Structure 1
Amino acid sequence: MKRKISNGSRGILGQAQPNYLVPMGYLLAVVATIIWAGNFIIARSFNEDILPVGLAFWRWTIAVITLTPFALRVTVEDWKLVKKHLPYLAVSALSGVTVFNTLIYIAGHTTQAMNLSLIAASSPIFIVLMSRLFYGEVISLTRATGIIVVVIGVLLLITGGSLERLLSISFAIGDLYMLLAAIIFAGYTMLVKRKPPAMRMITFNLCTFSLGLLFLAPFYGLECWIYHPVVLNLSIMLALLYVGILSSVVAFLAWNKAIIIIGPSRTALIYYLIPVFSGIAAWLIIGEEISLVHIFSMSIIISGIIITNRTTS
């Protein structure tokens, strides 16, 4: 008689994942989210010093340079798979590397930080809906309740508990860019789930990073021609190293591996922790105050994530 293996989660294409891998999937998603929280702070802090396409171009240049020594041999071994799935890799690169991050940086130049955080919170909802639409993942009452609780916590955190502050938000063209970025990130997450099982994750990342950088190059050239290239100084170089190595290589490897282990819907809900980690980072780094409202809203967000992930669907 064959022994039945207990399944902790459903990962890529619904394949059962062993119980011992599930905590690692959540941990990887949390690591990516913590790093991306710092990325949002850098994007806001340097929006007067670095033009958006330039920031994206140098971010992915550093990412490719950093990843290549570790991934080149594996990518060469997977080259037949790369050629076979080149259209898939190109679409993944265009969405997740070229367009998504650049839209965030463009939006940061034309709208308020509050709007960015508010609209970014919609991305996990799009991921859950797309998972339902394309992969038939069930949105149970428990999961829907958890999502609602998380959204309430995010709104409370962003507005500081002030309804007047929420109602007084004005919208600009950058909000449309950010909304489009949220939808594109959801689409990219769906594409990661479709990664050919035989293609190793490090190969996928090197190929998408390189193709995404290639697609960015002409737009950066155009930005330099119309405006000016990035002028480097120590603070800008440190910021670029952070977004190039941590926000790109480390965070994307962690996020994409989490999608494979626990699936896109569960991974997406960890994304709601970004405003929590952003608030903590702002408190530690630039001394922004954390009030009782912040602590309460962070608790609601974490509770909602726990509720959502208790579902067995």
Structure 2
Amino acid sequence: MNQRLTLPTAALLTLPPVLWAGNAVVGRLVAPLVPPITLNFLRWALAFVFLLPFAWRLLRGDSPIWARWRRYAVLGLLGVGCYNALQYMAVKTSTPINVTLVASSMPVFMLALGAGFFGQRITRRQVAGALLSIAGVLVVLSQGELRHLAEVRFVPGDVYMLVATAFWALYSWLLTQPKDPPEVRSDWAGFLMAQLVPGVVWSGLFAATETALGTQAIVWGPALFAALLYVAIGPALVAYRCWGLGVQRVGPNIAGFFSNLTPLFAAMFSAAFLGEAPRAFHALAFLLIVGGIVVSSRR
């Protein structure tokens, strides 16, 4: 952990924001087809099936994960059971760009949790990088005109996403704690499976509660099946693998800045699939956010 940021590691940490931006847009597109918490459960249940051929040995009775079940229950609750359920709830009342913008408060949560609970020292470069990244977020939020900031109105979905972001920051810090058996930590599929087992249980319980409340019926069809394949493989398996590796290499403080790329990719995808065209201020925001990453990661 805490190695120098290299180009391969930067690419590794850039792919998850691309996939997560697509996840927000897809969540918005299928919102009329499936309840948000049920969507989260179906996503992870399908991801579990895809991961099973690579990590089935970890489910045996003598597996080392059972001795640390409390740790994986917490990781599964935060990263699998809560984060995306809250995001899918958020896009019911908010837009993908707004949701990903709220999630761009990630560096602030990363730095605060690291300093408050994990004994990390906050450097001036990290503070400067956080300010640059937040400035980029504000540029998008204000559409390039600061007077628009006074007109911004947050909806319940934005609040859901703020809570989700705090959960994700805590999840990322817990990933860095050396409490995993070597055979689990060295095996990406096994490490994810250790979180998926309790995570699917958590998300299943939440989905059952949602179904019992009868808020919305599922509309099965090709569109929903295609969406489930994407969110189960891309934002789930691939993104979690890349994010976990990146956090282990450079630490949560630096990795957190890469999450600020998500709203920019969300703006691009929204233009392609939701008819919301990117504008010049998105380019300025991109430069500010990338500048924050570069400043915060330099030694």
TM-score normalised by structure 2 residue count: 0.90
Correspondence list, 1:170-209, <5 A: 170-194=153-177, 195-196=179-180, 198=182, 199-200=184-185, 201-209=188-196
Could you say if the C-alpha distance between residues 275 and 231 of structure 1 is closer, same or farther in structure 2, counting changes exceeding 3 Å? same
Q: Report whether the alignment pairs 1:293 with 2:281.
A: yes
Which one-letter code corresponds to 2:206 in the other structure?
F
Could you say if the C-alpha distance between residues 297 and 97 of structure 1 is closer, same or farther in structure 2, counting changes exceeding 3 Å? same
Gaps of 5+ in 2: none
CA contact (8 A) 1:223 1:229 kept: no
Q: CA deviation at 1:85?
A: 0.9
Q: 2:116, 2:206 → 1: CA distance?
A: 33
Which one-letter code corresponds to 2:43 in the other structure?
R
Q: CA deviation at 1:163?
A: 2.7
Q: Report whether the alignment pairs 1:141 with 2:129.
A: no
Q: 1:76, 1:225 → 2: CA distance?
A: 30
Which one-letter code corresponds to 1:263 in the other structure?
G
Q: 1:114, 1:24 → 2: CA distance?
A: 27
Question: 1:129-165 deviations in whole A, cap 9, x for unaligned?
Answer: 2122233333222221111011101110232113343
- Residue in 1 aligned with 2:262? 274
Count matched residues.
294
Name the Cα RMSD after superposition. Answer: 2.2
Could you say if the C-alpha distance between residues 180 and 57 of structure 1 is closer, same or farther in structure 2, counting changes exceeding 3 Å? same
Q: Report whether the alignment pairs 1:241 with 2:192.
A: no
Q: 1:83 aligns with which of 22, 44, 66?
A: 66
Q: 2:112 aligns with which of 106, 126, 129?
A: 129
- Residue in 1 aligned with 2:143? 160
CA contact (8 A) 1:22 1:262 kept: no
CA contact (8 A) 2:257 2:292 kept: no
Q: 1:308, 1:24 → 2: CA distance?
A: 17
Q: 2:147, 2:246 → 1: CA distance?
A: 38
Q: Report whether the alignment pairs 1:56 with 2:56.
A: no
Q: 1:78, 1:167 → 2: CA distance?
A: 57
TM-score normalised by structure 1 residue count: 0.86
- Residue in 1 aligned with 2:294? 306
CA contact (8 A) 2:24 2:88 kept: no
Question: 1:6-43 deviations in whole A, cap 9, x for unaligned?
Answer: xxxx44xxxxx4x6x84433222111111111111112
Q: 2:15, 2:252 → 1: CA distance?
A: 16
CA contact (8 A) 1:107 1:175 kept: yes
Question: 1:66-121 deviations in whole A, cap 9, x for unaligned?
Answer: 11111223x25895420121100001101111011111111222345454233211
Could you say if the C-alpha distance between residues 285 and 178 of structure 1 is closer, same or farther in structure 2, counting changes exceeding 3 Å? closer
Which one-letter code corresponds to 1:47 in the other structure?
A
Q: 2:296, 2:76 → 1: CA distance?
A: 30
Gaps of 5+ in 1: 1-9, 12-16
- Residue in 1 aligned with 2:220? 232
Q: 1:37 aligns with which of 7, 21, 26?
A: 21
- Residue in 2 aligned with 1:218? 205
Q: 1:244, 1:197 → 2: CA distance?
A: 26
Q: CA deviation at 1:181?
A: 0.8
